[in-house]
Structure 1
């Protein structure tokens, strides 16, 4: 096989790619920084000839023209998402988009079983001399879609980093390619607030030398990174690799030498951040990107001893129920890999599942620790799975504790303005 000739036969321009999209197709696009920017930027051009093209996404990161033509009925496009980013959330609030409940490790397999995938559009590096592309920054569901979609289209972008692990795809597995020079979308780090720094300091007390960690994105994870500088031989096994992790590696805090799985390697399911991060992972054999159904499988996660999962939440009630994805019935983000990683960490020998949260919001007028979650809330971590809850006022260790003990520990780390109220409500509920 002459791979260069095969590439030429499959090479299209953007018009040719768009012509492959038909009415009522289910079209999956790659996640986050791997999203096919050129394809999505031009998708609106087919609005007058199609109906009901269903876009299945996760963390869209740009304002695309096709958003204007999304609706539930009789529209050129519909949209469903595994995790609501800012743009998907806005469409959801307008009633134009919908959410796919999922645990990240099962997102791809559940979707493939429930809905026929007509087209997958992903982003890849230029082909090498042996005919292989790298899917670059994401494998949450992308490789599974390559193997199961009717039509596989790759947006070949010379700006994408070449990553290792399970990212390779051969030209024989691809139906069409088109070329792009779009800059990779950057997501800058969020500076930690003073409250988040206090939370980060408490969490750092729970992380032992030799632990393997999973961190999310945002002010609290960034704050945690700053307080890990005295730690030794940490490892990384995470769904999302972020810029803060590069800092920990470059300072010698993360060595990955104590991990049970992929010793010496940083393992992630996707990468999202800034150019500094993208440059770091480019052709870096110490970083491996693997499928979400592997990286986030709780039984895989648990094989790393001293596994520590650190995620954030919107609210927790006095029994330990954690809501991290909605305000009442209004979907705000998604479960993502939170429950996967939390369960894996708790099952790990010496592991810890940590939920970090501010004790209050809106200038200390609303407590995030509540007597009971509103009836319409969606539970992200059931109370029987919860382990540690951390606020700027301290640490509550709930695993194995009875309801009375849980309520007292949570009241103790609540904002002082609400402790009397929470105690009063807890007594009414016969919790204390």
Structure 2
């Protein structure tokens, strides 16, 4: 009996009170989401669980507040308003531990809505661009519904799902969402150059998408034998592979392979990973495990922040009490890099916001979340330089951070430093 259904038929399995996992990032199953939301009159208190998703999130609309509740494991722009207005909530959790929430029945799943490549001749579909925590969702959900798309790349690694594991399928032919990293401005390029100075030949890199990671990658053209073990990557990596900068030869685990949990970029990236044995898309519980990360040499992890206080506390997921994003994998890689032989954990951020407000501050905003503790921080980089906080006392840290703050704010920060530390 065929498992193929219409989208509306496929989501009829969802019942009031169910917990529904939604595949994320560029694999967001838009047609299944729309079909689920069309059932709003029949459903009450359906809990929708996901990491970052691309595209619309109609279930988060205020008019459906009695039907759906967003319980986000990472907060993206499409659900930010709902969560901060109380129509949803946020689960603070390390990305490495999200699969365990499903596998250990802390958050048992009733239904998983996923997005896969067409089955191959052996009956295997691929989770494609987003393996991360989705493989755990597929393994543990009572019912799995997939939209099957010829535009989804077939990737090697943990994301191969046999059609027997899928209860219902719908056929789609949708383009995957694409995201182009913005071109770095002058300050971001300087940050990229400072970060590149910290990266040794033979290092294993972790970084995300955005102007600063893009600036770092642009500054690495003279490096040799870099490797990639990261939760995600985008277009900027591909040019360095093609130019022989990224080879993975010095990696101790998965030598020669790019290891990642998900990708988010343009079609160039999706085509690059399609049936590419040099790319291993793996379970995020493995990729982000500090015990795994530390086994590679010279792991250099570059992550961002909303603000940094003068003792080195890192807020990266909120603006005061306003929930902006999530913990994600920052702490996984900051700690993993610090334990790696020759590793370097780096927090990189512009010295000021677009409105000119200092991002190096005497104290974090009231209600701000500390994603990375001051005990974990080593390097902080702005366009004004590099502050190495590791092994420094509180006063020394504050002095180092004042020195890389924007000049317009150094006097005020110095006064705070003196008031607190007498320096």
Same fold (TM over 0.5): yes
1:102 to 93, 114, 119: 93
The 1-side partners of 2:177 and 2:242 are apart by 23
2:29 to 20, 36, 43: 36
Question: Offset of 1:102 from its aligned partner?
Answer: 0.8
The 1-side partners of 2:130 and 2:37 are apart by 25
Task: Tell me the equivalent position of 1:430.
Answer: 421
Question: Offset of 1:187 from its aligned partner?
Answer: 1.4
2:199 to 195, 207, 213: 207
Question: Offset of 1:190 from its aligned partner?
Answer: 1.4
Question: Offset of 1:44 from its aligned partner?
Answer: 2.0
Alignment of 1:7-406 (within 5 A): 8-68=1-61, 75-112=66-103, 113-364=105-356, 366-406=357-397
Relative distance call for 1:71 and 1:42 in structure 2 (3 A) is closer
| Cα shift readout 1:266-320 (whole Å, capped 9, x = no counterpart) | 0000011111110111111100100000001111111111000001111111111
The 2-side partners of 1:301 and 1:378 are apart by 25
Question: Offset of 1:64 from its aligned partner?
Answer: 4.1
Question: Offset of 1:97 from its aligned partner?
Answer: 2.0
Task: Tell me the equivalent position of 1:5.
Answer: none
Task: Report if aligned partners of 2:203, 2:226 keep a CA contact under 8 Å in 1.
Answer: yes
| Cα shift readout 1:124-158 (whole Å, capped 9, x = no counterpart) | 11111111111111121111111111111111111
Task: Report if aligned partners of 1:69, 1:76 keep a CA contact under 8 Å in 2.
Answer: no
Relative distance call for 1:148 and 1:111 in structure 2 (3 A) is closer
The 1-side partners of 2:185 and 2:35 are apart by 39
Relative distance call for 1:371 and 1:156 in structure 2 (3 A) is same
SS of aligned partner of 1:154: strand
Task: Report if aligned partners of 2:48, 2:70 keep a CA contact under 8 Å in 1.
Answer: yes
SS of aligned partner of 2:122: coil
The 2-side partners of 1:237 and 1:301 are apart by 8
Task: Report if aligned partners of 2:57, 2:78 keep a CA contact under 8 Å in 1.
Answer: no
Task: Tell me the equivalent position of 1:417.
Answer: 408
- The number of equivalent residue pairs is 422
| Cα shift readout 1:206-250 (whole Å, capped 9, x = no counterpart) | 001000101111110011111101000100001012111111111
**54-63 or 89-98, larger mean C-alpha shift:** 89-98
> Which segments of structure 1 move beyond 4 Å, counting only runs of 4 or more?
69-72
Task: Report if aligned partners of 2:60, 2:69 keep a CA contact under 8 Å in 1.
Answer: no
The 2-side partners of 1:221 and 1:266 are apart by 17
Relative distance call for 1:127 and 1:294 in structure 2 (3 A) is same
SS of aligned partner of 2:381: strand
The 1-side partners of 2:297 and 2:187 are apart by 30
The 2-side partners of 1:254 and 1:152 are apart by 37
- Compute the TM-score of the two structures, normalised by the length of structure 2: 0.97
Task: Report if aligned partners of 1:71, 1:97 keep a CA contact under 8 Å in 2.
Answer: no
| Cα shift readout 1:34-89 (whole Å, capped 9, x = no counterpart) | 111210122221011111111112222112443325665xx111111111111111
**92-101 or 350-359, larger mean C-alpha shift:** 92-101
What stretches of structure 2 of length at least 5 have no aligned partner?
A: none
SS of aligned partner of 1:424: helix
Task: Report if aligned partners of 2:202, 2:250 keep a CA contact under 8 Å in 1.
Answer: yes
The 1-side partners of 2:344 and 2:329 are apart by 16
Question: Offset of 1:344 from its aligned partner?
Answer: 0.4
The 2-side partners of 1:22 and 1:275 are apart by 36
